[in-house]
């Protein structure tokens, strides 16, 4: 007789073996044009079952292509080891700062209107715009229907890309853009703000009231969509994002959020567990980066170390969580905040 623990162990090992076999099978899958065409027929059937008309499905998939370069890009994402000291000067270059200030002036009326409507400081809207697509200059030239169909066919994240494909069909069906004009990155991120289709459906906004949410060509819609996203996840325009701070030599690092928490849910739990008032951080020895006392304001903050305990330390305010909702990356969030600060303070 097997003991309960032995059975559980055998089941666990079996599950691991099955998962490993599945990954190997996907890796060895032959990606052929014929196989892709057959797979697309299955996607079209799923779309039909979700209520899209046959005429709409046939026209939308009429020119769908197998993008092997999208698969290559997905498999070969860069893993370069960097620190903020090397990352920020590239991501937030002097050119980008000057361009951001230029865009702030050029679109001042639009940004002020959107900022007031949604309660989001325009400098953060422009910072996200600049870092996601270089102010609309780099939005991707992949047909989104083809890219998502290809990545679903490739199989490693089939469920995710199939869901995003169905969301993309909804966007087209709603009349926001034509299938042939729906362009984006190899992964299906679209427009000036690089929304995945699911994010578009949740947060895209019609900023100018023309009945369409055009994040590909209409800057008012782009700005409104960025602002709506931030506001929807809790943005507060009465505070900023974070501040770089100094720590005492005997600082208790258990007070900070661990660098690697394993996903957004765990990260938020760590935030809730470690956040304190600025008065409490002051008592813990934390000071402004210039050595002065922290501001005497009634807000809470959590302490983060994007590069670990030996790197920069930031007291992060609630808006930091909103930026981490956009992209769960310390480096990305720091670059957004850094650019927004340089727009305002002209350093």
Q: What is the pLDDT of residues 174-203, one digit of tens each?
A: 999 999 999 999 999 999 999 999 999 999
Q: Which tens digits make up the pLDDT trace of 86-136?
A: 999 999 999 999 999 999 999 999 999 999 999 999 999 999 999 999 999
Confidence band, pLDDT 50/70/90 cuts, at residue 78: low
Residue 77: pLDDT band with limits 50, 70, 90: low
Q: Is residue 48 part of a domain?
A: yes
Query: Where does a domain end: 127, 155, 190?
Result: 190
Instruction: Say yes or no: 45 and 186 in one domain.
Output: yes
Does residue 10 sit within a domain? Answer: no
Copy the structure tokens of residue 292: 């002065």
Q: State what percent of residues in the chain have pLDDT above 90.
A: 84
- Per the prediction, the chain carries an average pLDDT of 91
The reported pLDDT for the residue numbered 75 is: 76
Q: Is residue 256 a part of any domain in this protein?
A: yes
For residue 248 the two structure tokens come to: 């005492």
Same domain, 178 and 255: no
Please give the pLDDT value at position 25: 47
In this structure, the answer to whether residues 65 and 150 fall within a common structural domain is yes
Nearest to 181 by CA among 216, 157, 218, 152: 216
Query: Residue 344 domain-assigned?
Result: no
Q: What is the pLDDT, as a whole number, of residue 150?
A: 97
Residue 19 — pLDDT band, cuts 50, 70, 90?
A: very low
- CB-hemisphere CA count at 13 Å for 200? 31
Query: Do 259 and 305 meet the contact criterion of CB atoms below 8 Å apart?
Result: yes
Q: How many domains does the chain have?
A: 2
- pLDDT, tens only, 196-205: 999 999 999 9
CA 272 vs CA 227, 228, 247, 296, 300: distances in Å: 25, 24, 21, 21, 10
What share of the chain in percent tops pLDDT 70?
90
Dist. CA 178–CA 167, nearest whole Å: 14
Kindly report the CATH number assigned to the domain that includes residue 160.
1.10.8.350
d(CA 134, CA 217): 14
The helix or strand, by DSSP H or E, that contains position 316, with its residue range, turns out to be strand 313-316
For 267, the domain range is: 242-316
Q: What is the pLDDT of residue 329?
A: 95
User: What average pLDDT does this structure show over 256-285?
Assistant: 95
User: Is residue 234 in a domain?
Assistant: no
Is 268 part of a structural domain of the chain?
A: yes
Residues 181 and 272 in one domain: no
User: What is the rounded average pLDDT of the residues 244-259?
Assistant: 95
Does one domain contain both 165 and 271?
Answer: no
The set of residues, in sequence order, having a beta carbon less than 8 Å from that of 273 and lying 6+ positions away, is none
Same domain, 157 and 258: no
**The predicted structure's pLDDT at residue 31:** 87
Res 30 pLDDT > 90: no
Q: What is the distance between the alpha carbons of residues 220 and 225, in angstroms, rounded to a whole number?
A: 8
SS3 305: coil
């Amino acid at each position: 007789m097997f003991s309960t623990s032995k059975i559980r162990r055998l089941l666990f090992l079996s599950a691991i073996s099955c998962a490993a076999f599945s990954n190997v099978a996907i890796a060895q899958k032959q990606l052929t044009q014929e196989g892709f065409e057959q797979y697309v027929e299955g996607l079209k059937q799923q779309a039909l079952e979700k209520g899209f008309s046959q005429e709409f499905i046939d026209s939308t998939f009429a020119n769908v292509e197998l993008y092997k370069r999208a698969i290559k890009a997905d498999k070969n994402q860069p893993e370069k080891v960097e620190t903020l000291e090397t990352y920020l000067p590239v991501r937030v270059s002097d050119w980008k700062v000057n361009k951001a200030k230029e865009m702030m002036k050029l679109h001042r009326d639009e940004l002020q209107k959107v900022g007031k409507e949604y309660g989001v400081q325009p400098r953060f809207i422009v910072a996200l715009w600049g870092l996601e697509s270089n102010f609309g200059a780099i939005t991707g030239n992949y047909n989104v229907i083809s890219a998502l169909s290809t990545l679903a066919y490739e199989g490693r994240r089939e469920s995710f890309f199939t869901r995003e494909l169905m969301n993309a069909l909804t966007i087209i069906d709603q009349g926001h853009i034509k299938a042939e004009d729906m362009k984006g990155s190899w992964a299906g991120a679209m427009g000036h703000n690089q929304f995945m289709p699911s994010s578009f459906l949740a947060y895209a906004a019609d900023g100018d009231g023309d009945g369409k949410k055009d994040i590909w060509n209409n800057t008012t819609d782009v700005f409104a969509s960025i602002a709506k996203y931030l506001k929807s996840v809790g943005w507060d325009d009465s505070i900023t994002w974070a501040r770089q701070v100094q720590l005492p030599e005997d600082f208790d690092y258990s007070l900070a959020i661990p660098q690697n928490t394993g996903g957004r849910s765990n990260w938020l739990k760590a935030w809730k567990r470690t956040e304190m008032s600025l008065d409490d951080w002051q008592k813990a020895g934390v000071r402004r980066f210039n050595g002065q006392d922290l501001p005497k304001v009634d807000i809470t903050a959590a302490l983060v170390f994007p590069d670990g305990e030996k790197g920069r330390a930031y007291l992060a305010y609630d808006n930091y969580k909103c930026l981490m909702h956009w992209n769960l990356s310390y480096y990305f969030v720091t670059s957004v905040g850094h650019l927004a600060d340089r727009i305002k303070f002209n350093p």
